[in-house]
Amino acid sequence: MSRELRLSAGRVWAMLLRYLYLLRSSWPRTLELLYWPTLQMLIWGFMSQFLYANSSYVFRAFGVLLAAVMLWDVLFRGQLGLSMSFLEEMWARNLGHLFVTPLRPYEWVLSLLSMSMIRVLLGILPAALLAIPLYQYSIFAMGLPLVAFFAVLLIMGWALGLAICGLILRQGMGAEGLAWTVVFTISPISAVYYPVSTLPSWLQHAAWALPSTYVFEGMRTVLFSGIFRADYLLRALALDLVYLALGTTAFFVSFHNARRRGALLQMGE
Amino acid sequence: MIVYAVKVDKLVKCYPTAVAVDGITFSVGRGTTTALLGGNGAGKTTTLSILLGLLLPTTGAVRVLGEDILRHRYRVLPKMNFSSPFVDLPHRLTVRQNLLIYARLYGLTDRRERIERLSNDLQISAFLERPAGKLSAGQKTRVALAKALLNDPELLLLDEPTASLDPDTGDWVRSYLEAWRARTGATILMASHNMSEVERLCSDVMMMRAGRIVDRGSPQALIDRYGRTNLEEVFLHIARESRDVLVPVK
């Protein structure tokens, strides 16, 4: 490994360490990571038990709603995990310190992405494991397709998160609320709990423009018929790349503009 | 050997509603302590921000430690640092955690030894495990200074280093900076409103007003030039020269 690459990896690790220290410093925040995914899993688990006896849809595959809620959380937590670490720097007014060090913006982004993945795993793994004894349902039974679904949704969460962070860099902390709300606007058209065919035909076009739709449709195909739609995966990954490129561009353009406006020293609560 | 630590040429920074820096040209010799003086809005912090690479100028050239800061900031950032009482370190991390992270960002390998040494020098050992947000103003200033000296900078930029400190702590910080500069031969460029501090620490003073450097010299040369008894009177004289355009309050 070249010296520059080693130094770069060291800076990414330094930032990751900062977010891990932050997480460790507050047990309520750590608990909050686990709380919502577990609560969601409990609600949808009981709902699934009820519908299993009363609905032919759930009867075909008990885990269809539980898997959907857990996979949706990958997207949501992926985006929120990235945005939260970014917002920590805003709340601490720390950009002025960070960017007089040799830290490059892309290294910061890499640490944000890594932290997002850690937050997703910390939040969802306990819920997924708890579902096994509680409902005799293991999302891990999906096998390798689960890894593909996880990757597609996480990358989509990153793309959204980067675009939101870019918007906050541009508009200031007034746009902070977007970090919690934007992802829910795509929830209805991602067909998380129902097939895309349920949507009006004009909305189905929008739905198929989202990587998440391919994941949830693909998940149902795996659970109902045991078939993995590789074509869905390829389209989802292609869309992911487009969205990630757009999100990354939005972030770096906003960062450059923040340097031009002098916002790196002033930005904060 | 590069004689100048900082060389600025025709630097301009315009915002949509104001000109913050209006075509300033100056250089700062290596191993000196230089002050940027001026009232609020004179352009001191803007100038420091540009030197740090945090702010992009509208036009002009800036060389820091021989490198063009606009093109090659990452070559020079490891050799400089910055401290300001107005930019706190993250509150929820302990002092040690903060210092360890910044030491890693600077790529230092002897992190623990450096933190140990600086902790002893700056007398912060007693609160290394305390969250940075729970420190007094004096303790925060010393911790910020420890962060700023972690990488043994060749150029240290300070924004009002003793603002909001009691006279005793302020004096301690000034003595420390004097001794540190004498020992390392580093360059210090500081913005300050504290005239006695500037008289004590700085060999060179640049007076700024409305984004321009309106005068420059050693503290004593400026005092003599304006026929005053101290730098504060010189500062007031220069600051008030611009007030003639203001409408008096009735």
CA A76 to chain centre: 4
CA B93 to chain centre: 25
Of A97, A102, A264, the CB nearest to B74: A102
By C-alpha distance, which of B217, B165, B174 is closest to B34? Answer: B217
Please state, in angstroms and rounded to a whole number, the distance separating the CA atoms of residues B86 and A101: 17
Q: Which domain holds residue A88?
A: 3-266
Residue A267's pLDDT is: 57
CA distance B103 to chain A (A): 9
Task: Tell whether the model's pLDDT for residue A207 goes beyond 50.
Answer: yes
Q: Which domain holds residue B224?
A: 4-85+154-243
Q: B115 lies in a domain?
A: no
The count of other CB atoms within 10 Å of the CB of residue B178 is 14
The count of other CB atoms within 10 Å of the CB of residue A205 is 10
Please state, in angstroms and rounded to a whole number, the distance separating the CA atoms of residues A210 and A243: 9
Q: B94 lies in a domain?
A: no
Helix extents (H) in chain B: 44-52, 73-76, 95-105, 111-121, 137-149, 167-184, 195-201, 219-225, 231-241
Please state, in angstroms and rounded to a whole number, the distance separating the CA atoms of residues A269 and A266: 9
Residue A233's pLDDT is: 96
Question: B90 contacts in A (CB within 8 Å)?
Answer: 18, 22, 88, 92, 94
Q: Which residue of B has its CA nearest to A99?
A: B54
Please state, in angstroms and rounded to a whole number, the distance separating the CA atoms of residues A58 and A124: 22
Predicted interface score ipTM higher than 0.90: no
Give the mutation candidate from A5, A8, A21, A107 for the B interface (greatest B CB count, under 10 A).
Answer: A21
Question: B147 contacts in A (CB within 8 Å)?
Answer: 97
For residue B84, which amino acid is it? S
Find the mean pLDDT for residues A190-199.
93
Structural domains of chain A, count: 1
Q: B92 lies in a domain?
A: no
CA distance B99 to chain A (A): 11
Q: Return mean pLDDT, chain B.
A: 90
Burial class (CB in 10 A: 0-12, 13-18, 19+), B225: exposed
Q: What is the pLDDT of residues A76-115, one digit of tens each?
A: 999 999 999 999 999 888 898 999 999 999 999 999 999 9
Residue B1's pLDDT is: 59
Assigned token pair, B7: 């060389």
Question: B55 contacts in A (CB within 8 Å)?
Answer: 259-260, 262, 264-265
Contact B122, B138 (CB under 8 A): no
Structural domains of chain B, count: 1
Residue B248's pLDDT is: 46
Give me the DSSP letters along A19-35: HHHHHHH-HHHHHHHHH
pTM for this entry: 0.90
Q: B42 lies in a domain?
A: yes
Q: What is the pLDDT of residues B151-200, one digit of tens each?
A: 999 999 999 888 877 888 888 889 999 999 999 999 999 998 888 889 99
- Whether residues A265 and B100 touch (CB distance < 8 A) is answered with no
Q: What percentage of residues in chain B have a pLDDT greater than 90?
A: 70
Q: B95 lies in a domain?
A: no
Residue A268 or residue B50, greater confidence: B50
- Which CATH number characterizes residue B70's domain? 3.40.50.300
Q: What is the pLDDT of residues B11-57, one digit of tens each?
A: 999 998 899 999 999 999 999 999 999 888 889 999 999 999 999 99
* Distance, first Cα to last Cα, chain B: 58
Residue A31's pLDDT is: 87
Which helix (H) or strand (E) segment is B24 a member of?
Answer: strand B18-29
- Whether residues A261 and B15 touch (CB distance < 8 A) is answered with yes
Which helix (H) or strand (E) segment is A159 a member of?
Answer: helix A144-171
Please state, in angstroms and rounded to a whole number, the distance separating the CA atoms of residues B23 and B10: 4
